[in-house]
Chain A
Amino acid sequence: MSYDRAITVFSPDGHLFQVEYAMEAVRRGSTAVGVRGSDCVVLAVERRALAKLQDPRTIRKIVTVDDRCTLAFAGLTADARVLLQKTRVEAQTYRLTCEDAPSMEYLARFIARTQQKYTQRGGVRPFGIATLLAGFSDPEHGEGEGKPVLYQTDPAGTHSSWKAQVIGGRNSKSLREFLEKGYEDGMKEKEAVKLAVQALLEVVDSGAKNMEVCVIRRNETITMEEKDLDEVVKEIESEAEEGKKGGATAASGDE
């Protein structure tokens, strides 16, 4: 027995308003930044201020889907949990039937396909989340090594590969421009982490406790310790200070 009345229908001027409203829900979520380096992918998410009585360890915004795939999301947490579980089952089913790990592209396509299904079915609303998928691709023609990849999906059901991307938060547009300016091809892990943290610092209060950073390397995924993050933040801030001072002395020199 299934519902037959669709909730997501076209408007006269060709918009799918439910999808656009879902994207608005994503904008209300906390920011997540992804940066693709030459040998790693960095995912950095904003950790919104918690209630004092809440246990921070139970809030997880960067999660494992599969051995080789890590996901960060922005938007409705409950929707993310459901979509995530579907993807995990899909990853294991793929392994069971094909005796091989699913590629990153396959998983991104699956998430996107699922999100699209929910825009074209009776009785359901779209998922209010956008995801950033990080991992390594399969080696081409079975030779050599896979490259780091970063995929993004959105409530409309599209998926695409990015060098650096930001989802969620009110300032994602300006952050994207920030990433465009700061991104260089072939960044090593240190520089990729720095860029991701820099982008995040534009929207969060300074401090390692307001963000969670994961580095996805070829053979392992690590969550950065708070003290390592603190160092990166300090480095960025001291550079910013010097930049300001340099500007000030130049200005006074001109006078």
Chain B
Amino acid sequence: MDSIFGVTYNGGVIIAADQTNARSILIYQNNLDKISELSSHSMMGCAGPNADFVNFTQYIQKSLQLYEFSNDGLKLSTKAQANFCRGELAKALRKGPYQVNVLLGGYDAKKDGEVGDGSLYLMDYLGSMQKVNFGVQGYASNFCLSIFDREWKEGLNEAQALEIVDHCIGELAKRFLIAQPNFLIKVVDKDGVRVHKFGSDPEDN
């Protein structure tokens, strides 16, 4: 029931996720943060059962940290991080699969202070992966992919990309049977990962 979508623009990536944590007919919480920060310049939105999502993202986070410490502070590129994730999903598939569908977005700096690139990777729980300009996980794909298809183009700026995201959220509110009142939007660009907007504060316990 999770709706996760992401879009790249010139110089970064935006990932938005609903904040509902529910099972069957019961809503556990309304302010869950489904986009976890993997490193200073990458984040991963996951759709799937809470247990698998938490287990998987924390494992990936710590593994990436370990890589940094073991290799003298070297950070992995977004492409490398995505491939590592995909590898872990594939390895676990025949043992104890993680039932998570992932959208991994990150920013890679260019040399000489040029504006770097944002990149987005779509992965499913079976370990298939594709680099995409925009992607949607969950039922939301039925509603939002067509919006992205129509409105996304090369060279968008952050404001334009956010407009498309808002358009998608509006569409879901109008046409999706399951009410998802709160969405959390995170942006990653040259300054790192930051929360752009949330419907309900994830820190509020």
Instruction: Judge whether A245 is part of the interface by a CB distance below 8 angstroms.
Output: no
Interface of chain A, main secondary structure? helix
Instruction: Judge whether B203 is part of the interface by a CB distance below 8 angstroms.
Output: no
Partner of B72, one of A60, A65, A89, A93: A60
Question: What is the CA–CA distance of A239 and B58 in the complex, to the nearest angstrom?
Answer: 54
Instruction: Judge whether B176 is part of the interface by a CB distance below 8 angstroms.
Output: no
Within 8 A of A (CB), among B29-64: 58-59, 62-63
Question: What is the CA–CA distance of A96 and B63 in the complex, to the nearest angstrom?
Answer: 9
For A95, list chain B residues within 8 Å (CB): 62, 65
State how many angstroms separate the Cβ of B193 from the closest Cβ of chain A: 18
Asked if B69 and A96 sit within 8 Å, CB to CB, the answer is no
For B70, list chain A residues within 8 Å (CB): 85, 88
Task: Decide: A96 near B72, CB < 8 A? Known: A88-B66, A89-B66.
Answer: no
> A interface, how many residues as a size bin?
10 to 19
For B62, list chain A residues within 8 Å (CB): 92-93, 95-96
State how many angstroms separate the Cβ of B45 from the closest Cβ of chain A: 20
Asked if B72 and A92 sit within 8 Å, CB to CB, the answer is no
Asked if B69 and A64 sit within 8 Å, CB to CB, the answer is yes
Tell me how many residue pairs across A and B have CB atoms closer than 8 Å: 22
Question: What is the CA–CA distance of A92 and B62 in the complex, to the nearest angstrom?
Answer: 6
Nearest residue (CB) in A for B72 is: A60
> B interface, how many residues as a size bin?
10 to 19
User: Chain A 82-101 against B: per-residue CB contact (8 Å), 1 yes, 0 no?
Assistant: 00010011011101100000
Instruction: Judge whether A39 is part of the interface by a CB distance below 8 angstroms.
Output: no
Partner of A88, one of B58, B59, B69, B73: B69
User: Chain A 68-93 against B: per-residue CB contact (8 Å), 1 yes, 0 no?
Assistant: 00000000000000000100110111
For A88, list chain B residues within 8 Å (CB): 66, 69-70
Question: What is the CA–CA distance of A65 and B66 in the complex, to the nearest angstrom?
Answer: 9
Instruction: Judge whether A66 is part of the interface by a CB distance below 8 angstroms.
Output: yes
State how many angstroms separate the Cβ of B205 from the closest Cβ of chain A: 15
User: Chain B 51-94 against A: per-residue CB contact (8 Å), 1 yes, 0 no?
Assistant: 00000001100110110011011000000000000000000000
Nearest residue (CB) in B for A69 is: B69
Nearest residue (CB) in B for A99 is: B58
For A64, list chain B residues within 8 Å (CB): 69, 73
Question: What is the CA–CA distance of A93 and B59 in the complex, to the nearest angstrom?
Answer: 9
Residues on B facing A (Cβ under 8 Å): 58-59, 62-63, 65-66, 69-70, 72-73
Q: Which 6 A-B pairs have the closest CB atoms?
A: A92-B66, A96-B62, A92-B62, A88-B69, A88-B70, A92-B65
- Can you report 22 residue pairs joining A to B where beta carbons are below 8 Å apart? A60-B72, A64-B69, A64-B73, A65-B69, A66-B69, A85-B70, A88-B66, A88-B69, A88-B70, A89-B66, A91-B69, A92-B62, A92-B63, A92-B65, A92-B66, A92-B69, A93-B62, A95-B62, A95-B65, A96-B58, A96-B59, A96-B62
